[in-house]
Amino acid sequence: MVKKRVELINGDITSLDVDAIVNAANNSLLGGGGVDGAIHNAAGPDLLTECESLNGCQTGQSKITSGYRLKAKHIVHTVGPIWYGGYRDEPELLASCYQTSLAIAKEKKIKTIAFPGISTGIYGFPKELAALIAVNETKRFLNKNNYPEKVIFVTFSNESYETYRKLLDS
């Protein structure tokens, strides 16, 4: 039953005690603003050192590192697309972020993974469409796989929380 394997919380993703959190990263993986900056700051300088060895990441793809100072054991870095109106494969690239992040979780037998709203900050992806893609791709993956055992969507605003809640309840 997929519904029991998906959770929604409004809060700070960097404080969660889970196996992995997902970082809405940029192509360099070397930190930035928003969620990316908060994760790098909370994890400490060793995260930057490990990320420097990864040689970046393509949009729509994901890579994994240790969690360092975070409660989370791992960080899955995924690079979401910048929104250009939907004409540059942005929905497909965002779907790929969820697919590749969840595939890493399956491969590493990660039981619990938490996702922020990927591409919905400075990258400008419409929040409702991003949430729909997140929920659909996650449900599709969980229907076919035993890992991860639980996916947590983490929102940072009441508006985003309500958007996800309505999608998860339907």
Mean predicted confidence (pLDDT) in 69-84: 98
- B/e letters for 159-169, b = 16+ CB within 10 Å, e = fewer, are ebbebbeebbe
Q: What is the pLDDT of residue 134?
A: 98
Residue-wise pLDDT tens digits, 96-144: 999 999 999 999 999 999 999 999 999 999 999 999 999 999 999 999 9
- Rounded to an integer, what is the distance from CA 81 to the centroid of its chain? 13
Domain range for 52: 2-169
| CA gap 79, 109 in Å, rounded | 22
User: Which H or E run includes 43?
Assistant: helix 34-43
Pick from 117, 23, 139: nearest CA to 70: 23
Query: Domain tally for the chain?
Result: 1
Residue-wise pLDDT tens digits, 9-55: 999 999 999 999 999 999 999 999 999 999 999 999 999 999 999 99
User: Which H or E run includes 163?
Assistant: helix 158-169
CATH number of the domain that 53 lies in?
A: 3.40.220.10
59 CB contacts (<8 Å, ≥6 apart)?
Answer: 27, 79, 80, 81, 93
Confidence of residue 170 (pLDDT cuts 50, 70, 90): confident
| CA gap 59, 135 in Å, rounded | 19
Q: Is the pLDDT of residue 76 over 60?
A: yes
